Amino acid sequence: MSSIKDAFAHNDNGKAFIAFVTAGDPSLDVTEELVIAMAEEGVDLIELGIPFSDPTAEGTVIQDANLRALAQGVTTDDVFDMVERVRGRGCSVPMVFMTYANVVFSYGIERFAKRERQVGMQGIILPDVPFEEKAEFAEPFAAEGLELVSLIAPTSAERIGAIAREAQGFVYCVSSLGVTGVRNQITTDIGAMVKLVRTANPDVPVAVGFGISTPEQAARMAALSDGAIVGSAIIKLIAQHGEGCVEPVRAYVRTMVEAVRTA
């Protein structure tokens, strides 16, 4: 099975396009088809959101996706089973979960990590776990060969070096203050943040997320880093098209993949 770093290695320019979807929105069957379609279009890494009632890092678009999934009764075990089906269909694209500490803690950290490895995931992102408190989660996941991806933000300042030195998989560079969501303009000095990471740890890739929605933005962020992450723009398409969202999402991610690969 591929690794997180493989997502940044199989393109000629070393850049990755990373796509996020909330599992169970609009249904788990559709999520399964979305993952397959995005992998077929060349998405390099997929973040699967496990629905949670209080996703504090998310804007209203992804919050609503969480609520739609939860309203259907989607559980963590349901998401694991869906991933198992995807892997059973021969889909080998690297995938990580993006969820919250309470989801993992309530399931049982060691139990969650073991099940995640069994279904063929590569890691996890927990945006509400501070760097200083990550060991409680990182160690059980590492024991199963899984990586806990770290985030840095414009406010991380002097902590960026420390975070980067211990980073696994890739560093998730948050482009803007606030929550996820489409932004017309990204004004943060991404280049400076990426430079700090690379100085501290030249071996870890850096991908930029929060606010990216157009091919132009994706290409610009990928040129400054090692990849671009898009979530809210994809979730908006899913909300707009519902059960018929697979082909619109397929067409959209195709343009984003092309943009990142030419960055």
Two structure tokens written together for 125: 């992102």
Most confident of 1-15, 49-63, 242-256: 242-256
Decide if 179 contacts 59 (C-beta within 8 A): yes
Q: What is the pLDDT of residue 224?
A: 95
Confidence of residue 178 (pLDDT cuts 50, 70, 90): very low
119: CB partners within 8 A, 6+ apart: 80, 81, 83, 84, 87
* Comparison of pLDDT for 113 and 154, the residue scoring more: 113
Other C-beta atoms closer than 10 Å to the C-beta of 135 total 13
Decide if 91 contacts 38 (C-beta within 8 A): no
Nearest to 124 by CA among 96, 157, 95: 96
Is 78 a residue whose pLDDT tops 90? yes
Is 185 a residue whose pLDDT tops 70? no
In SS3 terms, 172-196 reads as EEECCCCCCCCCCCCCCCHHHHHHH
**For residues 29-51, average pLDDT:** 98
**For residues 32-48, average pLDDT:** 98
**For residues 108-128, average pLDDT:** 97
Nearest to 46 by CA among 259, 263, 262, 249: 249
Average pLDDT, the chain: 92
Tell me the pLDDT tens digit for each residue of 210-233.
889 999 999 999 999 999 999 999
Q: Which domains does the chain have, with CATH numbers?
A: 5-261 (3.20.20.70)
Is 79 a residue whose pLDDT tops 60? yes
Between CA 43 and CA 257 the distance in angstroms is: 6
pTM score, whole prediction: 0.94
Picking from 19-23, 28-32, 36-40, 208-212, which range would have the lowest pLDDT averaged per residue?
208-212
Q: What is the pLDDT of residue 205?
A: 96
